Chains A and B, each alone.
Chain A
C-alpha cells in the first residue's frame, strides 16, 4: 500500500508554507527545518519514470516523473530550503516564509513535471510566490521593484503559454522532452524559459528586483528561479547553439555591471547573471560533459551563492546598510561572517578545492573538447574577471578596506549554523567531487584535479590576484598609491566598462525614447475613445442605443437576404 502512495515532494513544501502562519515559536521552527527534509526523503523515495498521472482538460498529465536530472535539482532545492529556512528562522514576516516555501515547492514541482502544462502551472506559481517574497520586504524600493518583477514574469508566462499551446496544437504532444527550436511555438517556449534565466534583453529584472528583498528573502530568490530555468533548458533544449552566445553575453554583462555597482547585494545579483551565463554556454554546447557541467554548476552555484548572500544578509541584518561605501572593516567583529563570505567568494571564482572549481571547469573542458577555442578563452578571461570584480570586490569592500567605524556583532546562532553548513558543503564538494558527480545525469569520467588544470586555474586566478596583493602591500604604506591603485581598480576598469555602458546605454536610450513616444501617442489615442469621456465609455443617450439596435437588425436582415 505504502509503495503505491506517491506524495509529490513539492506539495509537502507548499502545504508546509501554508501551515506556517498558523503556528508560532518552536513549532514553526520545527516545520521550517523538518518539512524540507521530509521532502528531500520523498525525493529519494521516488522511483524512476512517471509515478503519477491524472487527466486535466482531456489531457493526460504527468505531474510527477523522476529521473537523475530532476532528482539532482530537487535534492539541492530541498536542501537549500532547509538551510535557507534555518537561516531565516528569525524572519518575523511570516508572509515571506510562506511565499518562500510555496516558491521552493513549485520549483520542485517544475523539476518533476513530466508534461509542459504542469511545467507551466508551477512556473506561474513560482512567479507569484517570488513576487510576494520581494513585496514582503521592508527595503524602500521593494514595492515598485516587485511590480516590475511581476510584469516581466507575467510577460514571460504569456510567451511560454503561447508557446506551449502552439506546441500542443501543432504536435498534439505535451510530454516535456528534448526539443529543437525549429518552429514558432518552440521558439516561444525557449524565449519564455530564457526570460527566467536572466537572458538578454531581460537580464535587468534580476539585479533590479533581488537586492530589494529582505536579508533572508534574497537567499531564497537566488536559488530557484534561474536554476529551474537551467533545469528546463537542460531538459528541453540541450545543444541549442544560440544558448552559447546568449550565455557569453550574460557572462560579460554580469562582470561589466558588477564593476560599476556599489550595492553589495546587487554585485552578487550581477554575478548570478554571470554564473548563469556559464551554465547557458554548457547547455548550448550540449555534449554529455557540458550538460553534466551545467547541472553541476547549477547545483554548486546554489550553495555558494546562498553562502555569499547569507554572509551579505548577515551584514544587512546587523547593520541595515547595503552600500559598499558605507561598509568596511567589519572583519574585526564579524570574523565568522567574513570567513564564510570569503569561502563563498573563492567558490564563485572557481578556486581549486571549492565546489565552483569542480563544476565550472567541466564547462570549460567541454568547450575545449569541442574545439570551441574562442568560447574557451572567453570563459577563461571571464573567470579572472569574476575573481577581480566580484570575488575580491565583495569581501574586500565589505569586510576590509577602510574602517567604517561599524562594530556589529556576529549574527545569531541559527544564521551562523546555516552559514557553516553551506561553507562546509562548498569546500566538501570541492575536495570530494565524486559526491556530486555521482548525482549527475550522465556518467562522469572527468577528473577535475589534473595537474595541468589546477595549475592553469591557479595561474589565472593568482595572476589576477597577484597584482591585487602586490598593490595591497603598497596600499598600506602610502596614501598616494592607494589612489593610484584606486585608479587602476576603479578608474581603468571603470573607464572600459563605462565606455561599453555609454554606447549601449545611448543606443538603448534612443530605442526607449522612441518606444515611449510611440506608446504615449498610442495610449493618448486609446484614451480619446476609451477614456471616461470617450465615446465608448460615455453614457449613451437612449435614442442612440435604439439606433444601434435598428442598425444591427438592418445589417442582419440585409446580410441574410442577399
Chain B
C-alpha cells in the first residue's frame, strides 16, 4: 500500500515498454487496457487515503526530500489523478476499433505504447512534488503526444505535430528557465521547500522573472488564448480517440500545474497582489470565451469546432483562477472536471461519426441523427452540458463562476459568462440542426454502424455529465475542498498549505 504513489507512475511506464515490445495492435491493446484500468484503482485508493489521513509524502527510492524526489499527494492532485486515470481507462476501452479504422495497422502497437507513455507523463506531473521532475514528466507526456498526433492518416497531422513540437518545446524551455531561476534563488527543487523559502526573497526580480517564465510556459501547454494556436490543428488531425484523450486530460493537467505554482509554490497572496496576474488572466480568459467560441461557430469541421470550443472552455477555467476568490476557484476546478467529461463525450461521439462516414466535415453530417440516434443523442446531451443547461454538469461549474464573479461585485463579468454561453448555443445548435433536421445524405446512409463498445463508452461519459449535473455534491464538494486547500494562500499572512504540517 505504501508504494502506491510510485506504482501510479511506474506501472504505465512498464506497460508502455511491453506494448512497444509486442508491437502488434491486439496484444498491445490488451496490455494497455489492463494497465489503464489499474490506474483508477490506485488513484481512488490514494484519494481515500488522503481523505482519511491527510497529505501523503512518498520518498522515491528512499531518499529523503529535499535531496531526493518526493511524491506528494494532497486532495488537489488526488482529485486530478482520479480524473485523468478514469478518462484514460474509458478512452482505451473505446479505442481499439476506432484506432484501427484511423491508423495504419503497423503503427497500432506504437500508438498504444505512446498512449501509455503519455499517461505516465501526465500522472507523473500530477503526483510529483519536485519542480524538475515535473519538467521530465512534462517532456515525456509532450513527446508522446507529438507522436500520437502524428499517427493520424491525414498528412497535415504530421505538420500539426511538428508545429506543436516546436512551440511545445519553447514552452517547456520557458518552464525550465523559470525553475532554474527558482533553484538559483532558493537552492532547492522541492516544491514545498521552495514555497517555504520564497517569502524571504519574494521581492527580488529573479523571483518575478521565474513566475513570468513559468506562467508563460504553462500557459502554452494549457492553450491559453492567444497561445492556443497549436491546439486546433492538433485535435483536428489526431485520431479521434486520441483527440478525446488529449482534450479531456492534457490541458487539464497543465491547468493543475498552473494552480499548483500559483497557489502552493508562489502563494496566492504574492501572485495576485504583487503581480498583475489577475488582470492579464481575466482579459485573456474573456477573450478566449468570446473569440474562440465565435471562431467555433464558423468552423466547417466538427473536430476543429470542438477544438476551438475547448480553447473557449479553458477560458472559463482560467477565469475561475483569475477571480481569486474561493467560489470562483471552486467553479474553475469543477469546470476542469466537468469539461473533461463533456468534451470527452463529445469527441468520443465524433469518433463514432468518423467511424461511420470517414470524416468529420459538418456538411457531411446531414441527417446523421436519424441513422445514429444513440450517438447523436449523446452528442446533444453533452452539447447541452457544454452550453451549461441546468441538469448537466456544465451548469454547476458555470453557476459557481457566476457566483464568484458576483462575489467580487463584477456584475458585468457575470453577464459576460452568460452571454458567451449563448454562443455555445449557436455552435451546438448548428450541429443539432444539421444532424437531426435534414434528410440523411448518401454517405450517411451507406456508412457502417460503430461498434457497441464505442457507443457504450460515449454514453458512460454522457450519463456522467447528467449525473454530476444532478448530484453536484460529489464534484462541487471535492472541488470546493481543493479550492479551500489552494485558496488558503490568498489571504495575506496565512501559511502556504502543506508547509509545517
Are A and B part of the same complex? yes
- Which A residues contact B (CB, under 8 angstroms)? 55-58, 120-121, 124-125, 143, 147, 150, 154, 158, 161-162, 165-166, 169, 526-527, 530-532, 534, 536-537, 539-540, 542, 544-546, 548-549, 552-553, 555-557, 559-561
Q: Which of A143, A169, A544, A545 has the most C-beta atoms of chain B within 10 angstroms of its own C-beta?
A: A545
CB distance from B177 to the nearest CB of A (A): 10
Chain A residues with Cβ below 8 Å from B292 are 536
B112 at the interface (CB under 8 A from A): no
CB distance from B370 to the nearest CB of A (A): 12
B256 at the interface (CB under 8 A from A): no
CA distance A534 to B473 in the complex (A): 42
- The reply to whether A536 and B291 contact each other, CB–CB distance below 8 Å, is yes
Question: Given A158-B418, A549-B227, does the pair A537, B396 have CB atoms closer than 8 Å?
Answer: no
Q: Give 7 pairs: A residue, B residue, CB < 8 Å, sorted on A.
A: A57-B472, A539-B229, A548-B227, A548-B229, A549-B174, A553-B213, A559-B276
- The reply to whether B205 and A561 contact each other, CB–CB distance below 8 Å, is yes
CA distance A125 to B213 in the complex (A): 47
- The reply to whether B220 and A549 contact each other, CB–CB distance below 8 Å, is yes
Nearest CB in chain A to that of B219: its residue? A552
CB distance from B303 to the nearest CB of A (A): 14
Question: Given A540-B229, A561-B208, does the pair A556, B215 have CB atoms closer than 8 Å?
Answer: yes
Interface string of B382-404 (1 = CB under 8 A from A): 00000001110000100110110
- The reply to whether A546 and B422 contact each other, CB–CB distance below 8 Å, is no
B48 at the interface (CB under 8 A from A): no
B63 at the interface (CB under 8 A from A): no
Interface string of B216-252 (1 = CB under 8 A from A): 1001100000110110110000000000000000000
Nearest CB in chain A to that of B311: its residue? A536
B300 at the interface (CB under 8 A from A): yes
Interface residue tally of chain B, by bracket? 35 or more
- The reply to whether A121 and B391 contact each other, CB–CB distance below 8 Å, is yes
- The reply to whether B227 and A545 contact each other, CB–CB distance below 8 Å, is yes
- The reply to whether A560 and B216 contact each other, CB–CB distance below 8 Å, is no
Chain A residues with Cβ below 8 Å from B216 are 549, 552-553, 556
Chain B residues with Cβ below 8 Å from A120 are 390
CA distance A339 to B230 in the complex (A): 70
B482 at the interface (CB under 8 A from A): no
CB contact between A560 and one of B167, B212, B229, B295 (< 8 Å): that residue: B212
CB distance from A395 to the nearest CB of B (A): 36
- The reply to whether B437 and A545 contact each other, CB–CB distance below 8 Å, is no
CA distance A546 to B295 in the complex (A): 21
**9 nearest CB pairs, A to B:** A169-B406, A556-B212, A540-B229, A530-B294, A560-B208, A537-B295, A531-B298, A553-B216, A121-B390
B21 at the interface (CB under 8 A from A): no
Interface string of B306-341 (1 = CB under 8 A from A): 001000000000000000000000000000000000
CA distance A556 to B476 in the complex (A): 32
CB contact between B167 and one of A124, A545, A556 (< 8 Å): that residue: A545
Interface string of B135-146 (1 = CB under 8 A from A): 000000000000
CB contact between B298 and one of A161, A169, A527, A553 (< 8 Å): that residue: A527
Nearest CB in chain B to that of A124: its residue? B390
CB contact between B170 and one of A124, A537, A549 (< 8 Å): that residue: A549
B166 at the interface (CB under 8 A from A): yes
Chain A residues with Cβ below 8 Å from B220 are 549
Question: Given A162-B418, A542-B163, does the pair A530, B291 have CB atoms closer than 8 Å?
Answer: yes
B344 at the interface (CB under 8 A from A): no
Chain A residues with Cβ below 8 Å from B403 are 165, 169
Chain B residues with Cβ below 8 Å from A154 are 425
Nearest CB in chain B to that of A555: its residue? B280
- The reply to whether A162 and B415 contact each other, CB–CB distance below 8 Å, is yes
A-B contact number at CB 8 A = 117
CA distance A537 to B299 in the complex (A): 8
CB contact between A165 and one of B211, B229, B300, B402 (< 8 Å): that residue: B402
CB distance from B279 to the nearest CB of A (A): 9
CB contact between A125 and one of B219, B274, B391, B433 (< 8 Å): that residue: B391
CB contact between A545 and one of B163, B275, B400 (< 8 Å): that residue: B163
CA distance A526 to B292 in the complex (A): 12
- Which B residues contact A (CB, under 8 angstroms)? 163, 166-167, 170-171, 174, 205, 208-209, 211-213, 215-216, 219-220, 226-227, 229-230, 232-233, 274-276, 280, 291-292, 294-295, 297-300, 308, 389-391, 396, 399-400, 402-403, 406, 414-415, 418, 421-422, 425, 429, 433, 437, 472-473, 476, 480
Chain B residues with Cβ below 8 Å from A560 are 208-209, 211-212, 274-276
- The reply to whether A559 and B299 contact each other, CB–CB distance below 8 Å, is no
Chain B residues with Cβ below 8 Å from A161 are 390, 418
Chain A residues with Cβ below 8 Å from B227 are 545, 548-549, 552
- The reply to whether B170 and A546 contact each other, CB–CB distance below 8 Å, is yes
- The reply to whether B300 and A532 contact each other, CB–CB distance below 8 Å, is yes
Nearest CB in chain A to that of B213: its residue? A553
- The reply to whether A542 and B390 contact each other, CB–CB distance below 8 Å, is no
CB distance from B449 to the nearest CB of A (A): 20
- The reply to whether B230 and A545 contact each other, CB–CB distance below 8 Å, is yes
Chain B residues with Cβ below 8 Å from A548 are 226-227, 229
- The reply to whether B437 and A542 contact each other, CB–CB distance below 8 Å, is no
- The reply to whether A165 and B308 contact each other, CB–CB distance below 8 Å, is no
Chain A residues with Cβ below 8 Å from B414 are 162, 165-166, 169
CB contact between A55 and one of B276, B418, B422, B473 (< 8 Å): that residue: B473
- The reply to whether A539 and B295 contact each other, CB–CB distance below 8 Å, is no
Chain A residues with Cβ below 8 Å from B300 are 532
Nearest CB in chain B to that of A144: its residue? B437
CB distance from B455 to the nearest CB of A (A): 17
CB distance from B222 to the nearest CB of A (A): 13
CA distance A120 to B399 in the complex (A): 13
- The reply to whether A559 and B174 contact each other, CB–CB distance below 8 Å, is no
CA distance A64 to B229 in the complex (A): 49
CA distance A169 to B163 in the complex (A): 46
Chain A residues with Cβ below 8 Å from B230 are 545
- The reply to whether A537 and B391 contact each other, CB–CB distance below 8 Å, is no
- The reply to whether A57 and B400 contact each other, CB–CB distance below 8 Å, is yes
Chain A residues with Cβ below 8 Å from B226 are 548, 552
- The reply to whether B295 and A536 contact each other, CB–CB distance below 8 Å, is yes
Give 6 new A-B contacts, CB below 8 A, not counting A530-B298, A553-B174, A553-B213.
Answer: A58-B480, A147-B433, A169-B414, A534-B298, A555-B280, A556-B280
Chain B residues with Cβ below 8 Å from A166 are 406, 414
Nearest CB in chain A to that of B276: its residue? A559
Chain B residues with Cβ below 8 Å from A534 are 295, 298
Nearest CB in chain B to that of A162: its residue? B418
Q: Which of B163, B205, B216, B476 has the most C-beta atoms of chain A within 10 angstroms of its own C-beta?
A: B216
Chain B residues with Cβ below 8 Å from A532 are 298-300
CA distance A154 to B418 in the complex (A): 12
Chain A residues with Cβ below 8 Å from B297 are 530
Question: Given A57-B472, A553-B212, A556-B215, does the pair A124, B391 have CB atoms closer than 8 Å?
Answer: yes
Chain A residues with Cβ below 8 Å from B399 are 57, 165
- The reply to whether B418 and A546 contact each other, CB–CB distance below 8 Å, is no
CA distance A84 to B166 in the complex (A): 65
Nearest CB in chain A to that of B293: its residue? A530
Nearest CB in chain B to that of A556: its residue? B212
CA distance A527 to B209 in the complex (A): 38
- The reply to whether A56 and B472 contact each other, CB–CB distance below 8 Å, is yes
CA distance A340 to B196 in the complex (A): 83
Nearest CB in chain B to that of A142: its residue? B437
CA distance A539 to B163 in the complex (A): 10
Chain B residues with Cβ below 8 Å from A526 are 294
Chain B residues with Cβ below 8 Å from A158 are 418, 421-422
Nearest CB in chain A to that of B298: its residue? A531
CA distance A544 to B166 in the complex (A): 12
- The reply to whether B213 and A165 contact each other, CB–CB distance below 8 Å, is no
CA distance A540 to B205 in the complex (A): 33
CA distance A161 to B390 in the complex (A): 10
Q: Which of A552, A555, A557 has the most C-beta atoms of chain B within 10 angstroms of its own C-beta?
A: A552
Nearest CB in chain A to that of B230: its residue? A545
Nearest CB in chain A to that of B167: its residue? A545
Chain A residues with Cβ below 8 Å from B274 are 560
CB distance from A189 to the nearest CB of B (A): 14
